[in-house]
Homo-oligomer: A and B are copies of this chain.
Amino acid sequence: MKPIKVGLLGLGTVGTGVVRIVEGHQEDLQRQTGAAIEIAKILVQDKSKARSIAVDPDKLTENPWDIVGDPDIDVIVEVMGGVSVAKDHILTALAGGKHIVTANKDLMALHGAEILAKAAEKSCDVLYEASVAGGIPIIRTLVEGFSSDRITKIMGIVNGTTNYILSKMSQEGAAYADVLKEAQQLGYAEADPTSDVEGLDAARKMTILATLGFHAPVALGDVGAKGISQISKEDIQYGKQLGYTVKLLGIAENNDGHISVSVQPTLVKNSHPLASVNGVFNAVYVYGEAVGETMFYGPGAGELPTATSVVADLVAVVRNLKLGINGRRVLAPYKEKKLKTDEQIAYKNFILLQVEDKAGVLAQITQIFARHEVSLESVVQHPDAGKPQAEIIIITHDANQASMKKVLDEFGTMDVIHAIKSVYRVEG
- List the interface of chain A (C-beta within 8 A of B): 17, 20-21, 25, 28-29, 31-32, 129, 135-137, 140-141, 144-150, 215, 273, 276, 281, 288-299, 302, 304-305, 307-312, 314-316, 319, 323, 325, 328-329, 331, 334
Contacts and interface: CB of A to CB of B under 8 A. Distances in A.
A154 to B, nearest CB: 14
Contacts of A20: 290
Contacts of A21: 148-149, 290
Given A31-B334, A136-B294, A145-B312, 20 more contacts: A25-B149, A25-B150, A31-B331, A32-B147, A32-B148, A32-B331, A135-B291, A137-B144, A141-B141, A144-B316, A147-B312, A148-B308, A148-B310, A292-B304, A293-B297, A293-B299, A294-B297, A319-B329, A323-B328, A325-B325
A149 B334 CA distance: 33
Nearest to A282: B294
Contacts of A328: 323
Given A141-B137, A312-B145, A298 B307 contact: no
Nearest to A17: B290
16 contacts: A28-B150, A31-B215, A32-B148, A32-B331, A137-B141, A141-B141, A141-B145, A144-B144, A145-B309, A146-B312, A149-B312, A291-B299, A292-B298, A294-B299, A295-B298, A323-B323
B291 A148 contact: no
A383 to B, nearest CB: 36
Contacts of A140: 137, 140-141, 144-145
Nearest to A318: B147
- Give the most central of A31, A141, A290: most B CB within 10 Å: A290
A325 B320 CA distance: 10
A291 B298 contact: yes
Query: Copy number of this protein in the oligomer?
Result: 2
B148 A29 contact: yes
Contacts of A334: 31
Contact of A315 (B147, B150, B273): B147
A323 B305 CA distance: 31
Contact of A147 (B289, B291, B316, B325): B316
A373 B32 CA distance: 41
A306 B299 CA distance: 27
Nearest to A312: B148
A70 to B, nearest CB: 24
Nearest to A286: B298
Contact of A311 (B148, B276, B304, B315): B148
Contacts of A293: 281, 297-299
A413 to B, nearest CB: 44
Contacts of A137: 140-141, 144-146
Given A32-B147, A312-B144, A315-B147, A273 B297 contact: yes
Nearest to A34: B331
Contacts of A289: 304
Nearest to A294: B298
Contacts of A32: 147-148, 331
Contact of A290 (B290, B307, B315): B307
Contacts of A144: 137, 140, 144, 312, 316
Nearest to A303: B290
A276 B304 CA distance: 27
A104 B346 CA distance: 41
Contacts of A299: 291-294
A135 B273 contact: no
Contacts of A310: 148
A148 B135 CA distance: 11
